[in-house]
Amino acid sequence: MKKKIGIAAAAVILALALLAGILLGRSQENASSPQVYTGFAMSTVITQTAYGKKAAEAEIELQRRLQAFENRFSMFLAQSDIARINAAAGKSPVSVSGETMGLLKRALELSKTSQGAFQLTIAPVTQLWGITTDHPRVPGADEIARALALVDDDDLILNEEEGTAYLRREGQAVDLGGVAKGTACELARETYEEYGIDSAWLSIGGNIYVRGEKPGGTPFRIGFRDPYQTENSYLASFQMKDRVLAVSGGYERYFEENGVRYHHIIDPATGYPAESDIVSAGVFAQEGTLADFMSTTLFVWGSGRTLEYMRRPDACDVIFLTDTGTLYVSESLRDSFELEETHADMPVVFVERREAA
């Protein structure tokens, strides 16, 4: 009897497996139905939607690469290149992989354009607050002052010839949290390219990479979140192709104590969460690292400096929402931009770039 049940069960499993195989085969043959894959890495949910024969394979490979990326770059994982650099601060230069050197070099180059708002070496302060950990707390003013004294990107010394990275003073540390998700979008671009995927999008903790168009040539439309509502409510949407949209806002990660909300973007001028009049800033760029760097920087800058930036001839496309409820949008986005019906009466100001001199 037992054996019979076993055989019956095996037959059912086999039938299900065959059916699954047929369905999977179909979905891969039919290039117009997307393959959706949801994974987790870098403390966030990652959703991939890809079209094409090798979509499923590409998504699994990308998930694997994102995990490996986290293992190399997370300051929280003791064996990562970043954790090793941090542990050797003030003691000795640390050999790092070419990939780590490339990312640190680019991130440092960018951070130096932020007029101090973005600091790769913000880690002593972010670690003190622990806002992205399970044990956040409000530190004392003296602790903040001590941690802040260690923040200085000029103390991160990259020696490309030797392949080493070095922090000059003990206690200093690098935190790539402000750019890593954007850089992850570049991994997506590379992986999809390798697998011949022409049509896909990836969402990773508020950052979105769009590759190509939907099969048949319809452009993808991507929403700009309503920070006051649940995750699937949008203020506006954009047509997007072959770009990354990085979004930064105080509503993304925070904790509350005695009725005060403390969010995860630190103003290096004070050591406290940035008191920005920007609620949410989105930056579009082909390069994910640049988009992610810029959105964090704009948030710290606030609306005044952000508007100045948007007028620069070389500025990325930007959308931001102020705490008084106005949306500012780069003029160059006007044609691809649309307010959601529920926000049709929202004030929108389009901002033009100056002509290049």
Number of residues that bind Mg ion (CB under 5 A): 4
Number of residues that bind ligand AMP (CB under 6 A): 18
Task: Output the smallest distance, CB 10 to ligand AMP, in A.
Answer: 49
Per-residue binding letters, 101-130, with Mg ion (x by CB under 5 A): ------------------------------
Q: Per CB under 5 A, does 81 bind Mg ion?
A: no
Torsional sign, CA 61, 66, 71, 73? positive
What is the helix, strand, coil percentage profile of the chain, to 5?
40, 25, 35
Window 164-193: residues binding ligand AMP (CB under 6 A)? 175, 177-178
User: Across-strand partners of 327?
Assistant: 321, 348
Q: What is the DSSP letter of 116?
A: T
Task: Output the smallest distance, CB 299 to Mg ion, in A.
Answer: 8
Q: Per CB under 6 A, does 132 bind ligand AMP?
A: yes
* Rounded CA separation 75/89 (Å): 13
Q: Which stretch binds ligand AMP (CB under 6 A): 16-24, 116-124, 185-193, 311-319?
A: 116-124
Q: Per CB under 5 A, does 186 bind Mg ion?
A: no
DSSP string computed for 43-108? TEEEEEEEESTTHHHHHHHHHHHHHHHHHHH-TTSTTSHHHHHHHTTTT--EE--HHHHHHHHHHH
* Rounded CA separation 255/119 (Å): 22
Instruction: Residue 265: name its binding partner from ligand AMP, Mg ion, none (Cβ under 5 to 8 Å by kind).
Output: ligand AMP
Length of the chain: 357
Q: Per CB under 5 A, does 63 bind Mg ion?
A: no
Residue nearest to ligand AMP (CB): 177
Instruction: Residue 220: name its binding partner from ligand AMP, Mg ion, none (Cβ under 5 to 8 Å by kind).
Output: none
Q: Per CB under 6 A, does 306 bind ligand AMP?
A: no
In the chain, alpha helices (H)? 2-29, 55-73, 81-87, 98-111, 123-129, 141-148, 180-194, 288-310
Angle at 150 between CA 145 and CA 154, to 5 degrees: 135
* Rounded CA separation 270/45 (Å): 31
- Map tokens 């952000």 to a residue: 306
Task: Output the smallest distance, CB 27 to ligand AMP, in A.
Answer: 34
Q: Per CB under 6 A, does 235 bind ligand AMP?
A: no
Instruction: Residue 264: name its binding partner from ligand AMP, Mg ion, none (Cβ under 5 to 8 Å by kind).
Output: ligand AMP
* Rounded CA separation 333/261 (Å): 32
Report CA dihedral (352, 116, 323, 312) to the nearest 10 degrees: 0
Task: Output the smallest distance, CB 283 to Mg ion, in A.
Answer: 8
Alpha-carbon 342 to chain mean position: 27
Q: Which is nearer to ligand AMP, 125 or 197 (CB)?
A: 125
Task: Output the smallest distance, CB 132 to Mg ion, in A.
Answer: 13
Tokens of 308: 């100045």
Per-residue binding letters, 256-295, with ligand AMP (x by CB under 6 A): --------xxx-x-----------------------x--x
Q: Which is nearer to ligand AMP, 55 or 290 (CB)?
A: 290
Q: Per CB under 6 A, does 144 bind ligand AMP?
A: no
Residues within the interface to ligand AMP (CB under 6 A): 118-119, 122, 126, 132, 175, 177-178, 248, 252, 264-266, 268, 292, 295-296, 300
Residues within the interface to Mg ion (CB under 5 A): 178, 292, 295-296
